[in-house]
Amino acid sequence: MTDHDEQHPSEDFAAALAAFEQEQEKSGQKAAPKVGDRVSGKIYSLGAEHAFVDLGGKAEGSIDLAELKDSEGELKYAVGDPIEATVAAAEEGGTYVLRMKAAGGRRSAPIPGEIRQAFEASAPIEGTVTGVVKGGVSIDVLGARGFCPISQLDRRFVEDASGYVGRRLTFKVARYEEGPRGLNLVLSRRAFLEQEARAKAAEMRERLVVGAIVPGTVTSLARYGAFVDLGGVEGLLHVSEMGYGRIEKPEDVVQVGQELNVQITKVEPGKDGQDRISLSLRALAPDPWAAASIEYPVGVFLRGRVARLQPFGAFVELGAGIDGLLHVSELGLHRRINHPNEVVQVGQEIDVRVLAVDVPRRRISLTLASPGSFEEYHGEEHYTEGYSTEGYATEEYAAEGYVAEEAPSDDEEPPQG
pLDDT class of 228 with cuts at 50, 70, 90:
very high
- Examine the pLDDT at 104 and tell me if it is beyond 70: no
Q: How far is CA 21 from CA 11, 34, 187, 391, in A?
A: 15, 14, 38, 85
Q: Provide the residue ranges of all domains of the chain, joining segments of one domain with +.
A: 1-31, 34-107, 111-193, 207-284, 288-399
H-run or E-run covering 397: helix 395-399
Question: What is the Cα–Cα distance from 214 to 288, expressed in whole angstroms?
Answer: 23
Q: Is 359 exposed, middle or buried (0-12, 13-18, 19+ CB in 10 A)?
A: middle
- Examine the pLDDT at 24 and tell me if it is beyond 50: no
**What's the CATH code, domain 34-107?**
2.40.50.140
User: Which class in CATH covers the domain with range 111-193?
Assistant: mainly beta
Instruction: Name the superfamily (CATH) of residues 288-399.
Output: Nucleic acid-binding proteins (2.40.50.140)
- DSSP E strand boundaries for 8-113: 38-46, 50-56, 59-64, 82-91, 95-99
pLDDT, position 174: 92
CB 205 within 8 A of CB 268: no
CB 43 within 8 A of CB 79: yes
Residues 6+ apart with CB under 8 A from 93: none
Predicted TM-score (pTM) of this structure = 0.42
Question: What is the Cα–Cα distance from 10 to 16, expressed in whole angstroms?
Answer: 10
CB 275 within 8 A of CB 269: yes
**pLDDT 10s digits, 321-366:** 888 998 988 887 677 888 888 888 998 888 888 999 888 888 899 9
**What's the CATH code, domain 207-284?**
2.40.50.140
CATH topology identical between 111-193 and 207-284: yes
